[in-house]
A and B are shown apart, each in its own frame.
Chain A
Amino acid sequence: AQTVTQSQPEMSVQEAETVTLSCTYDTSESNYYLFWYKQPPSRQMILVIRQEAYKQQNATENRFSVNFQKAAKSFSLKISDSQLGDTAMYFCAFMAGISGNTPLVFGKGTRLSVIA
């Protein structure tokens, strides 16, 4: 079974600074997808960024980028120019297989606080 580990339960960052959230996963699959979701106090889970394992290029979405190290099974999220609205729980998630026949597996999350 796949597992996702987020080793940082809580983190804080000053506004406008850069922060990196860590995620490691364990799988024997060769084809899979990785995701970062954000859950603000409103409870709505929002997809931040996704990465296909077969792509070597790291995904980027505006201020959000990932560092995908397939051999190390590591998938960290970097938030640049942090904003107060980035305060939220961040969840790393894994999906096995090209067809996606297994559900998303989530880590336990990292609570990020952006401080003015």
Chain B
Amino acid sequence: EAGVTQSPTHLIKTRGQQATLRCSPISGHTSVYWYQQALGLGLQFLLWYDEGEERNRGNFPPRFSGRQFPNYSSELNVNALELEDSALYLCASSEATFEGYTFGSGTRLTVV
């Protein structure tokens, strides 16, 4: 069974540009979660999608947005990139949330 896959692995963008990160959940998982892992800050919850709808959102500005497609894959968009957006972005999926999440290997976003 394929795990959670994220692309690209690394992404370098210039301040002010837009970044698009992609995630494919485990087959059968309908929920997708996005987290930001900045140095020293642990994992900060960004967005939760389930069945194509946004279910919950973390304390991030509106320039962080995303969507979930009919096949349950998801993309995270970050507009007007700032230097402090440099971080590891982790995607996770779950079938039953109380069982925990399965994470991908992340996208390392560097803003220069």
When A43-B88, A95-B98 are in contact, do A103 and B106 touch as well, CB less than 8 Å? no
Binds A, one of B19-27, B35-43, B62-70, B75-83: B35-43
User: Does the CB pair B105–A103 fall under 8 Å?
Assistant: no
User: Does the CB pair B45–A45 fall under 8 Å?
Assistant: no
Please name the residue on chain B nearest to A49 by beta carbon.
B100
Please name the residue on chain B nearest to A48 by beta carbon.
B100
Partner pick for A47 among B42, B45, B102, CB 8 A cutoff: B102
When A42-B105, A45-B103, A102-B56 are in contact, do A95 and B97 touch as well, CB less than 8 Å? yes
Number of B residues near A (Cβ < 8 Å) is 25
B3-32: CB near A (< 8 Å → 1, else 0) gives 000000000000000000000000000000
Does more than half of chain A's interface fall in helix, strand or loop, or is it mixed? loop
Binds B, one of A11-19, A74-82, A105-113: A105-113
Residues of A within 8 A of B (CB): 33, 35, 37, 42-47, 50, 52, 91, 95, 98-109
A-B contact pairs, 27 of them (CB 8 A): A44-B103, A44-B104, A45-B101, A45-B103, A46-B103, A47-B100, A50-B99, A95-B97, A98-B98, A99-B97, A100-B97, A100-B98, A101-B55, A101-B56, A101-B97, A102-B56, A103-B33, A103-B48, A103-B56, A103-B58, A104-B33, A104-B43, A104-B45, A104-B100, A106-B35, A106-B42, A108-B42
